[in-house]
Amino acid sequence: MFPFLHFPQEILIDILSNIDAISLVRCASTSKKLYSTLRNSSQLRCITEMHLDGIEEVIVSNDHASILEKILCHRSAWRFLHWTSYHCIPMSHLCKAYELVGGVFSQTGDHVLQTVQLPTRTRATYTSDELVFAFVVRDFAMDPTQDVIALLEDDDTPLFVTAIRVIRIHIRTISNNINHPLARPNPLEFEIAPDLLHGNGMHSATLQIVCDLISVYITRNSRARVLIWQWTEGRLLYDSGDGLMSSLPHDTSDFALLGQNSFLVTRTRDSGSIALYKLHLYPISNPLHVATFHLPDIKPNSRLIALRTHAGPIEANPLPDSYFKREDKNRIHVFTLSYTSFTSPGATLSRMTALGMYVHQNVFVSHLEDCAEKNQEVVDVKWDDWGPNYTRLMRDRSPSHWLRYAHGQRIICSTNTNTVEILDFSLSACSEIEFLSNYHDGLSSGSNSGGTSSESSSRQTLSLPPHPSLPGPLPNHGIRQQLDLMQPSIFNVCSSSVFSVNVETRLPCRLTTKGLPTAYYAYMLYEDGIIGVKVR
């Protein structure tokens, strides 16, 4: 038998290029020659570096050196927050609802939707356009990679306790504002039956698009309702029901689609939990409750009053002229935990505590992949079995009014109006952190640092320090700091803690802080840049 290591270098590379990144790294760790082959081959390094960044190749190219350079330049730019340009984009209408997906920012004010194609690595400037509708828009969701926008019509039906309200979701194209040719029927419709307490009104309604699914999450005071359609076929896959007939738990706090066949629901009962469901598309049947992930136990005088979730958008197709696409399973989910604690039993005064919990989507996906049997029992995942190693719990850093602060594995937040913080949970950041902590402990890289605990109807301006790459001509405003969170974030049991036990979480990440030359009201994030919002 011919020894494997005696193959010529080019044959070794051809063989190794057919295995996945994890297997490739394991293989390279078995001998110096294989390690050297991996380090010196741009083709093999592309495989491992894309895995570290949670991306996949879109345009297949044999110019592996060029692809590798693009990956490393993009990573370096985000690590050091180097801007290459700055744009100030005026928004001409009041903001009633907004969305940021696929490098496109859109906002609506009643009948008009303004869309802005943002600068990217391959597009140096921005373009703006307006769409006009014959109805008032209450909320909308979009996916520019499918040229689709779903608009929830805000009808002017008075609030009645006897009449049924009919709600319409219009599915149109972004490019030319016509009914989307793949949508059947169009618009989608559903009814809200009245009751004596709430009439036929809605407290809130939120749309979401994931590939060929459209969901609407409705709250009516203390009750929630979820509807999910396959919009290309007009099939209603799931309606949780309304009022007392709802199949959702009465303590439901939030909802989010995870992909084309799954969703999660957050609950506030007891110490709080995250319920994972799997959709059955053919034939249509009730979603399967796969698993429940429990949060840490809390003290008797504390109560979880809200458990909100947010993550970056899921794009069905690659962006035009893009070399890479984010892998959806590597998205970071941000859970905002809002607690109230009474100072003593029977007291009327309470103290509010807000915490942010960060979780990779693949934690949930792994349970979906293990779910093969339709009638299997719900997996009850206790906090100690998943929380300490697969989450990071910190004092809440998410903005209170504006979403789209998450994209892929990055989170943008701000401690004050002219300073931004980027939390990076990618393997590329974490693997570099581990390298620095092992070999350069105590150096100025910060590897020895430990963890720590729309306004509606407003006119705004988008100010973009966009598409970071290698250092550009703009001055490096402020002092940049990097804090590598490798040590656990610890919440000890004390008088100010809501938890009844010590809580440690260890999901590694890098925190980068940088000052900006001007102050902004809020921040958002997309693949190639940062948006600073100014409201006037």
Of 208 and 443, which is predicted with more confidence?
208
* pLDDT value for 415: 66
- The predicted pLDDT at position 107 comes to 92
pLDDT on residue 345:
64
- Least-confidence region, from 58-67, 85-94, 401-410, 442-451: 442-451
Q: Provide the 3-class DSSP secondary structure of residue 83.
A: coil
User: What gap in Å lies between CA 406 and CA 311, rounded to an integer?
Assistant: 6
Helix axes 9-16 and 32-40, enclosed angle (nearest 10): 80
Cβ proximity of 364 and 457 under 8 Å: no
Residue type, 380: D
CB 210 within 8 A of CB 314: yes
Instruction: Give the max Cα distance, the chain.
Output: 83
> What confidence score (pLDDT) does residue 245 get?
64
Q: Quick one: pLDDT at residue 122?
A: 80
In terms of C-beta density within 10 A (0-12 exposed, 13-18 middle, 19 or more buried), how is residue 411 classed?
buried
Mean pLDDT computed over every residue of the chain: 83
Q: What is the dihedral of CA 327, 128, 529, 489, to 10 degrees?
A: -70
φ, ψ of residue 366 to 5 degrees: the values are -60, -35
Contact 485, 449 (CB under 8 A): yes
CA dist., res. 351 & res. 347, Å (int): 11
Q: According to the model, what pLDDT value does residue 59 have?
A: 75
Residue 61 pLDDT > 80, yes or no? no
How is 247-273 classified by DSSP, letter by letter?
A: SS-TTEEEEEEEETTEEEEEE-STT-E
* 253-294 residue pLDDT tens: 999 999 999 999 999 999 999 999 999 877 777 898 999 999
Determine if residue 9 is left, alpha or beta; phi over 0 gives left, psi from -120 to 50 gives alpha, anything else beta. Answer: alpha
| Tens digits of residue pLDDT in 96-154 | 899 999 999 999 988 899 999 998 888 888 888 999 999 999 999 999 999 999 999 98
Residues 185-214 pLDDT 10s: 899 999 888 877 777 878 889 999 999 999
120 neighbors 528 (Cβ within 8 angstroms): yes
Most confident of 7-16, 166-175, 432-441: 166-175
| Beta-ladder partners of 207 | 216
Could you give the CA distance from residue 312 to residue 205 in angstroms, rounded to a whole number?
Answer: 19
Q: What percent of the chain has pLDDT over 90?
A: 44
Which pLDDT band, with edges at 50, 70 and 90, does 243 fall under?
low
* Mean pLDDT, residues 465-492 taken together: 57
What is the C-alpha to C-alpha distance for residues 429 and 437, in angstroms, rounded to an integer?
A: 12
Q: Rounded to whole angstroms, what are the CA distances from 197 to 63, 161, 200, 222, 524? A: 65, 8, 9, 11, 38
> Is 88 or 347 the better-scoring residue by pLDDT?
88
- % of the chain exceeding 70 in pLDDT: 85
**What would the pLDDT profile of 337-389 be if each residue is shown by its tens digit?**
999 988 666 666 678 899 999 999 999 988 887 776 555 788 999 999 999 99
Residues 6+ positions from 330 with CB-CB distance below 8 Å? 54, 360, 361, 362, 408, 409, 426
Query: Which pTM value belongs to this model?
Result: 0.87
pLDDT at 469: 35
For the cut 50, the answer to whether the pLDDT of residue 514 exceeds it is yes
Extract the tokens encoding 478. Answer: 């402020």
The mean-pLDDT minimum among 42-56, 188-202, 515-529 falls in 188-202
Which of 78-87, 339-348, 468-477 has the weakest average pLDDT?
Answer: 468-477
What is the average per-residue pLDDT within 494-522?
87
In angstroms, the Cα distances linking 238 to 35, 199, 275, 346, 531 are 50, 23, 16, 42, 35
- Alpha carbon distances (Å) from 29 to 3, 25, 54: 17, 6, 21
**pLDDT attached to residue 451:** 33
Decide if pLDDT at 320 tops 60. yes
Instruction: Give pairs for 76-81: CB < 8 Å, separation 24+.
Output: 76/470, 77/468, 77/469, 77/470, 78/410, 78/422, 78/424, 78/468, 79/424, 79/429, 79/482, 79/510, 79/512, 80/471, 80/480, 80/512, 81/420, 81/422, 81/468, 81/480, 81/512, 81/514
Q: Looking at residue 378, what DSSP letter applies?
A: P
For the cut 50, the answer to whether the pLDDT of residue 476 exceeds it is: no
245: helix, coil or strand?
helix
pLDDT for the residue 247 = 82
Residue spans per domain, the chain = 3-80, 90-248, 250-435+488-535
- pLDDT for the residue 311: 95
